[in-house]
Amino acid sequence: MAVADVAAWLTHARSVVALTGAGISTESGIPDFRGPQGVWTRDPKAEARADIGYYVAHPEARREAWQARLHHPARAAQPNAGHRALAELERLGRLQLLVTQNIDGLHLLAGSSPERLVEIHGSARDYVCLSCGDRGPMDEVLDRVRAGEEDPACLNCGGILKSATISFGQQLVAADLARAERAAGQSDVFLAIGTTLTVYPVAWLPERALANGARLVIINAEPTAMDDRAHAVLRGQIGEILPSLVSRVAADRTPRAAGKD
Ligand code: NAD
């Protein structure tokens, strides 16, 4: 199936839902986990360190985590053509909901509106206290790390602080998951972009869409867990495919919109 066919599906869809994974942000300089150059592909032990139980039990894991947050490439990263294309798809009125597994905040920076975005694994731009739930901008805690605190504690209750992201072993926010599931279950086109579709429960979202009779479109440089179920697999760089797809949707819509006026 070609880009032109998928563009036509987007143009005529009743409800489009997109799911993005780490692959949409690699072109912004943030490595993914499971791609060929992924953090976990190159260092399988890094996956264990992402577990909440390990983080809570091991102060040295927290010290390492704070240093990693200070120097993480996501802090300086900017949105790329893929993020901007999804913001444009929303502006064209063709995107009901964007669900991202990413914690980098780049969809918001690219102009996607908060009302149509679910950051289902949280955001690294905020910190949260694991005891009292106090939450605020990550920079406030990173300033303390820069000033010499190796494992800064919550200023309210002394609890353990962490980035406001969902680690392995933590529950997703129920309202976020319910909203994503509802939208996926009502969609008639579902885009799965730059995700291996192996992280659950998010990987169930395309199943929900398929159960509703939606067309599943997978955009990825490598095979994914659901390629055999997809109606279209667009193989290649997201930063090239998405802009070309969305510019076709824009071109498809312009004459019709003008005709209606
Ligand atoms: P993943 O790392 O499992 O898979 C990324 C997929 O994208 C791979 O299939 C890879 O081949 C593909 N890909 C990478 N760059 C691409 C490109 N430029 N064009 C086309 N395809 C490309 O990602 P995941 O399934 O999203 O799971 C990883 C989990 O880790 C996520 O749940 C997320 O929360 C987290 N994570 C987030 C970030 C981030 O916020 N940017 C980065 C790494 C991991």
Helix (DSSP H) and strand (DSSP E) numbers for the chain: 11, 9
Condensed to tens digits (0 to 9), the pLDDT of residues 88-126 reads 999 999 999 999 999 999 999 999 999 999 999 999 999
In this prediction, residue 43 carries a pLDDT of 72
In this prediction, residue 258 carries a pLDDT of 42
In this prediction, residue 252 carries a pLDDT of 84
Write out the DSSP string of 142-179.
HHHHHTT-SSPBPTTT--BEEEEE--BTSPPPHHHHHH
What is the whole-number distance in angstroms between the Cα of residue 260 and the centre of ligand 1?
Answer: 40
In this prediction, residue 253 carries a pLDDT of 73
Condensed to tens digits (0 to 9), the pLDDT of residues 192-213 reads 999 999 988 899 999 999 999 9
Task: Write down the pTM of the prediction.
Answer: 0.91
Active-site residue, 121 included? yes
What is the whole-number distance in angstroms between the Cα of residue 256 and the centre of ligand 1?
Answer: 36
Task: Phi first, then psi: give them for residue 44, nearest 5 degrees.
Answer: -55, -25
- For a mutational test of ligand 1's pocket, the pick from 24, 33, 103, i.e. the residue with the most ligand atoms closer than 8 A to its C-beta, is 33
In this prediction, residue 49 carries a pLDDT of 67
Query: Which segments in the chain show pLDDT lower than 50?
Result: 257-261
Kindly report the protein residue whose alpha carbon is nearest to atom 22 of ligand 1.
23
Closest by CA to 86, choosing from 10, 152, 9, 175, is: 10
Residue 79, preceding bond cis, omega within 30 degrees? no
